[in-house]
Amino acid sequence: MPGTGKSAVGKALAKNYRWKFIDTDDRIVELEGRTLPDIIENGTYEEFLAIEGNAGKTLDCKG
């Protein structure tokens, strides 16, 4: 769902609650070493979802 405002809402919530904001798109690029368009254009949607899920698992959400 690109362009729906998820990052904007996430940033606003993080600011309001004084949490650190981590953009999962940035995390995916960091882990994969390639851009999101490259990942999407050269793979399947299912592969992208797997990459996205793995990126989420690398986050330290305990604070």
Q: What is the pLDDT of residue 37?
A: 92
The series of mean pLDDT values per 10 residues for the chain, 63 residues long, is 84 95 93 94 93 91 69
Rounded CA separation 61/63 (Å): 6
Q: What is the pLDDT of residue 1?
A: 64
DSSP assigned state of 19 = P
At which residue do the structure tokens 């995390």 appear? 27
Q: What is the pLDDT of residue 63?
A: 59
CA distances from 56 to 6, 11, 18, 59 (A): 15, 17, 20, 6
CA angle 11, 14, 19 (to 5 degrees): 140
Q: What is the pLDDT of residue 31?
A: 96
pTM above 0.95, yes or no: no
